[in-house]
Amino acid sequence: MAISPLCLLVLAGLLGSLATENLQKKVFVFPIESNNSAVFLKAPLQQPLTGFTMCLRSYTLLSRGYGLFSYATKRNYNEILLYKVNPNEYRLYVGDSAVTFSLPEKQGSKSNWEHICVSWDSATGLVALWVDGRPLPRTGLKKGYSINPEASIVLGQDQDSFGGGFEINQSFVGEMKDVYMWGRVLTANEVNLVWNDIRVDNCLINWKDLDYETRGYVVLQPSLFPRY
Protein backbone atom coordinates (compact mmCIF):
# COMPACT_ATOMS: atom_id res chain seq x y z
CA MET A 1 0.00 0.00 0.00
CA ALA A 2 1.33 3.46 -0.88
CA ILE A 3 1.88 5.88 1.99
CA SER A 4 0.67 9.42 1.45
CA PRO A 5 3.12 12.35 1.68
CA LEU A 6 1.19 13.66 4.71
CA CYS A 7 1.65 10.36 6.56
CA LEU A 8 5.35 10.35 5.72
CA LEU A 9 5.68 13.88 7.10
CA VAL A 10 3.93 12.93 10.36
CA LEU A 11 6.07 9.79 10.68
CA ALA A 12 9.27 11.81 10.15
CA GLY A 13 8.22 14.20 12.91
CA LEU A 14 7.63 11.31 15.33
CA LEU A 15 10.88 9.50 14.57
CA GLY A 16 13.14 12.52 14.17
CA SER A 17 15.57 13.36 11.40
CA LEU A 18 18.25 10.76 10.60
CA ALA A 19 21.31 11.59 8.53
CA THR A 20 25.01 11.14 7.89
CA GLU A 21 26.64 14.22 6.38
CA ASN A 22 29.36 16.85 6.43
CA LEU A 23 28.15 19.63 8.75
CA GLN A 24 30.98 22.08 8.14
CA LYS A 25 29.65 25.67 8.37
CA LYS A 26 26.42 24.37 9.92
CA VAL A 27 25.10 24.36 13.49
CA PHE A 28 22.52 22.55 15.56
CA VAL A 29 20.09 25.13 16.96
CA PHE A 30 18.30 24.20 20.19
CA PRO A 31 15.68 26.98 20.22
CA ILE A 32 13.80 26.33 23.49
CA GLU A 33 14.02 24.55 26.83
CA SER A 34 12.79 21.01 26.39
CA ASN A 35 12.67 17.57 27.97
CA ASN A 36 12.53 15.78 24.61
CA SER A 37 14.82 17.65 22.18
CA ALA A 38 18.29 16.22 21.57
CA VAL A 39 20.77 15.05 18.94
CA PHE A 40 21.67 11.36 19.12
CA LEU A 41 25.08 10.39 17.76
CA LYS A 42 26.47 7.06 16.61
CA ALA A 43 30.14 6.11 16.99
CA PRO A 44 32.01 2.98 15.80
CA LEU A 45 32.88 1.73 19.30
CA GLN A 46 33.88 -1.93 19.59
CA GLN A 47 36.20 -2.05 22.61
CA PRO A 48 36.12 -0.38 26.04
CA LEU A 49 37.68 3.08 26.04
CA THR A 50 40.72 3.69 28.22
CA GLY A 51 41.05 7.28 27.10
CA PHE A 52 39.21 9.88 25.08
CA THR A 53 39.17 13.48 23.90
CA MET A 54 35.91 15.26 23.10
CA CYS A 55 35.68 18.74 21.54
CA LEU A 56 32.82 21.05 20.57
CA ARG A 57 31.82 24.69 20.15
CA SER A 58 28.72 26.13 21.80
CA TYR A 59 26.97 29.48 22.02
CA THR A 60 24.30 30.19 24.64
CA LEU A 61 22.88 32.94 26.82
CA LEU A 62 21.95 30.50 29.61
CA SER A 63 23.15 31.22 33.13
CA ARG A 64 21.80 27.95 34.65
CA GLY A 65 23.38 24.51 34.29
CA TYR A 66 22.89 22.32 31.21
CA GLY A 67 24.14 19.12 29.61
CA LEU A 68 26.34 19.43 26.54
CA PHE A 69 27.57 15.89 25.85
CA SER A 70 26.09 12.80 27.51
CA TYR A 71 27.46 9.27 26.99
CA ALA A 72 25.23 6.84 28.88
CA THR A 73 25.46 3.09 29.21
CA LYS A 74 22.97 0.68 30.73
CA ARG A 75 25.44 0.22 33.58
CA ASN A 76 26.02 3.91 34.17
CA TYR A 77 24.03 6.89 32.91
CA ASN A 78 26.97 9.22 33.64
CA GLU A 79 29.63 7.09 31.96
CA ILE A 80 30.79 10.35 30.34
CA LEU A 81 28.97 13.62 30.91
CA LEU A 82 30.14 17.13 30.15
CA TYR A 83 27.92 19.49 32.11
CA LYS A 84 28.25 23.26 32.34
CA VAL A 85 27.25 24.16 35.88
CA ASN A 86 27.18 27.92 35.29
CA PRO A 87 28.96 30.37 32.93
CA ASN A 88 32.21 29.94 34.89
CA GLU A 89 32.26 26.19 35.64
CA TYR A 90 32.44 22.96 33.67
CA ARG A 91 31.97 19.54 35.27
CA LEU A 92 33.14 16.25 33.74
CA TYR A 93 31.78 12.90 34.89
CA VAL A 94 33.54 9.62 34.13
CA GLY A 95 32.01 6.47 35.57
CA ASP A 96 29.63 8.61 37.70
CA SER A 97 32.53 10.39 39.46
CA ALA A 98 33.12 14.05 38.69
CA VAL A 99 35.68 16.85 38.65
CA THR A 100 34.83 20.55 38.31
CA PHE A 101 36.85 23.21 36.49
CA SER A 102 36.48 26.89 37.37
CA LEU A 103 37.18 29.14 34.39
CA PRO A 104 39.31 32.29 34.52
CA GLU A 105 37.44 35.47 33.68
CA LYS A 106 37.68 36.37 30.00
CA GLN A 107 39.45 39.60 29.14
CA GLY A 108 38.45 41.99 26.37
CA SER A 109 35.78 41.68 23.71
CA LYS A 110 35.39 38.14 22.36
CA SER A 111 32.79 36.09 20.55
CA ASN A 112 30.35 34.27 22.79
CA TRP A 113 31.16 31.07 20.93
CA GLU A 114 33.19 28.92 23.31
CA HIS A 115 35.39 26.06 22.14
CA ILE A 116 36.18 23.30 24.61
CA CYS A 117 38.19 20.09 24.48
CA VAL A 118 38.18 17.68 27.40
CA SER A 119 40.30 14.54 27.74
CA TRP A 120 40.69 11.67 30.18
CA ASP A 121 43.34 8.95 30.42
CA SER A 122 42.73 5.74 32.37
CA ALA A 123 46.43 4.96 32.86
CA THR A 124 47.09 8.19 34.78
CA GLY A 125 43.54 9.26 35.66
CA LEU A 126 44.40 12.74 34.39
CA VAL A 127 41.63 14.99 33.08
CA ALA A 128 42.47 18.04 30.96
CA LEU A 129 40.14 20.85 29.88
CA TRP A 130 41.00 23.31 27.14
CA VAL A 131 38.86 26.43 26.68
CA ASP A 132 39.34 28.49 23.52
CA GLY A 133 42.72 26.85 22.97
CA ARG A 134 44.00 27.44 26.52
CA PRO A 135 44.54 24.55 28.98
CA LEU A 136 43.43 24.66 32.61
CA PRO A 137 45.42 22.87 35.33
CA ARG A 138 44.93 19.11 35.06
CA THR A 139 43.22 17.05 37.73
CA GLY A 140 42.61 13.33 38.38
CA LEU A 141 39.60 11.04 38.08
CA LYS A 142 38.88 7.28 37.86
CA LYS A 143 42.43 6.01 37.36
CA GLY A 144 42.34 2.47 35.96
CA TYR A 145 38.69 2.68 34.85
CA SER A 146 37.44 1.57 31.42
CA ILE A 147 34.41 3.00 29.61
CA ASN A 148 31.76 0.64 28.24
CA PRO A 149 31.42 0.92 24.43
CA GLU A 150 27.67 0.12 24.33
CA ALA A 151 26.51 3.69 24.63
CA SER A 152 23.72 6.14 23.97
CA ILE A 153 25.44 9.42 22.98
CA VAL A 154 23.42 12.63 23.17
CA LEU A 155 24.03 16.35 22.60
CA GLY A 156 22.08 19.04 24.44
CA GLN A 157 20.71 16.97 27.33
CA ASP A 158 21.75 15.05 30.47
CA GLN A 159 20.60 11.42 30.28
CA ASP A 160 19.13 10.10 33.52
CA SER A 161 18.24 6.83 31.83
CA PHE A 162 19.66 5.03 28.81
CA GLY A 163 18.59 7.23 25.89
CA GLY A 164 16.25 9.44 27.90
CA GLY A 165 15.30 10.73 31.32
CA PHE A 166 15.80 14.33 30.18
CA GLU A 167 14.89 17.25 32.46
CA ILE A 168 13.81 20.59 31.04
CA ASN A 169 15.93 22.55 33.54
CA GLN A 170 19.07 20.72 32.39
CA SER A 171 18.50 21.19 28.66
CA PHE A 172 20.80 23.21 26.43
CA VAL A 173 19.37 26.26 24.64
CA GLY A 174 21.59 27.83 22.00
CA GLU A 175 23.78 26.68 19.11
CA MET A 176 26.33 23.89 18.86
CA LYS A 177 28.82 22.80 16.21
CA ASP A 178 32.23 21.20 15.54
CA VAL A 179 31.59 18.10 17.67
CA TYR A 180 34.43 15.55 17.62
CA MET A 181 35.56 12.62 19.75
CA TRP A 182 38.69 10.44 19.68
CA GLY A 183 39.42 7.24 21.55
CA ARG A 184 42.66 8.65 22.95
CA VAL A 185 44.14 11.75 24.56
CA LEU A 186 45.14 14.34 21.98
CA THR A 187 48.45 16.15 22.30
CA ALA A 188 48.58 19.89 22.93
CA ASN A 189 49.49 20.46 19.29
CA GLU A 190 46.53 18.38 18.13
CA VAL A 191 44.11 20.29 20.37
CA ASN A 192 45.42 23.50 18.83
CA LEU A 193 44.73 22.07 15.36
CA VAL A 194 41.16 21.20 16.34
CA TRP A 195 40.60 24.68 17.80
CA ASN A 196 41.70 26.11 14.44
CA ASP A 197 39.36 23.73 12.59
CA ILE A 198 42.20 21.65 11.12
CA ARG A 199 41.66 17.94 10.69
CA VAL A 200 42.96 15.40 13.20
CA ASP A 201 42.42 11.88 11.87
CA ASN A 202 40.92 8.72 13.35
CA CYS A 203 38.06 10.31 15.28
CA LEU A 204 35.12 8.30 16.54
CA ILE A 205 32.71 11.21 16.12
CA ASN A 206 33.44 13.48 13.16
CA TRP A 207 31.52 16.71 12.52
CA LYS A 208 32.51 16.51 8.85
CA ASP A 209 31.02 13.02 8.52
CA LEU A 210 28.46 12.92 11.31
CA ASP A 211 26.11 9.99 11.89
CA TYR A 212 23.26 11.60 13.81
CA GLU A 213 19.53 11.72 14.50
CA THR A 214 17.65 14.79 15.72
CA ARG A 215 14.66 14.35 18.01
CA GLY A 216 12.20 16.99 19.13
CA TYR A 217 12.79 20.65 18.33
CA VAL A 218 16.38 20.78 17.06
CA VAL A 219 17.10 22.56 13.77
CA LEU A 220 20.17 22.20 11.54
CA GLN A 221 21.05 25.62 10.06
CA PRO A 222 23.90 27.45 8.33
CA SER A 223 26.19 29.14 10.82
CA LEU A 224 25.74 32.89 11.27
CA PHE A 225 29.36 33.06 12.41
CA PRO A 226 31.36 31.15 9.75
CA ARG A 227 34.70 31.95 11.44
CA TYR A 228 33.73 30.11 14.65
Q: What is the pLDDT of residues 37-81, one digit of tens each?
A: 999 999 999 899 999 999 999 999 999 999 999 999 999 999 999
* pLDDT on residue 6: 37
Using pLDDT thresholds of 50, 70 and 90, give the confidence band for residue 111: low
Q: Is residue 1 part of a domain?
A: no
Q: Tell me if 6 is assigned to some domain.
A: no
Question: In 3D, which of 33, 51, 59 has the Cα closest to residue 158?
Answer: 33
d(Cα 181, Cα 204) in Å, to the nearest integer? Answer: 5
pLDDT at 14 (0 to 100): 41
- Region 217-223 average pLDDT: 97
Domain extent, residue 86, equals 18-222
| pLDDT (mean) for 5-30 | 65
Does some domain include residue 217?
yes
Backbone angles phi, psi at 21, to 5 degrees: -165, 170
Beta carbons of 60 and 173 less than 8 angstroms apart: yes
Whole-angstrom distance, CA of residue 204 vs CA of residue 43: 5
Question: Taking the chain, what is the end-to-end CA distance rounded to the nearest angstrom?
Answer: 48
Is residue 138, in this structure, part of any structural domain at all? yes
pLDDT band at 117 (very low <50, low <70, confident <90, very high): very high
Phi and psi angles of residue 183, each rounded to the nearest 5 degrees, phi first = -90, 35
Domain membership flag for residue 3:
no
18: confidence class by pLDDT, cuts 50, 70, 90: low
| Cβ atoms of residues 41 and 153 within 8 Å | yes
Q: Is residue 51 part of a domain?
A: yes
Q: What is the pLDDT of residue 105?
A: 76
Note the pLDDT tens digit of each residue in 162-216: 999 999 999 999 999 999 999 999 999 999 999 999 999 999 999 999 999 999 9
Residue 84: Cβ within 10 Å count: 21
The yes-or-no verdict on residue 92 having pLDDT over 90 is: yes
Residue 181 domain-assigned (yes or no): yes
- Residue 72: beta bridge partners? 152
Its pTM stands at 0.89
Whether the per-residue pLDDT at 10 is higher than 90: the answer is no
Q: How many domains are contained in the chain?
A: 1
Is 10 part of a structural domain of the chain? no
pLDDT at 164: 96
Cα separation, 200 vs 197, whole angstroms: 9
Query: CATH number, domain at 107?
Result: 2.60.120.200
Q: Average model confidence (pLDDT) for the chain? A: 90
pLDDT at site 46: 87
**What DSSP assignment string belongs to the chain?**
-PPPHHHHHHHHHHH-EEEEE--TTEEEEE-S--SS-EEEE-----S-BSEEEEEEEEE----S-EEEEEEEESS-TTSEEEEEEETTEEEEEETTEEEEEEPPPP-SS--S-EEEEEEEETTT-EEEEEETTEEPPPEE--TT--B-S-EEEEESS--SBTTB---GGG---EEEEEEEEESSPPPHHHHHHHHTT---SS-SEEGGGEEEEEESS-EEEE-S-TT-
Per-residue confidence band for 21, with pLDDT thresholds at 50, 70 and 90: confident
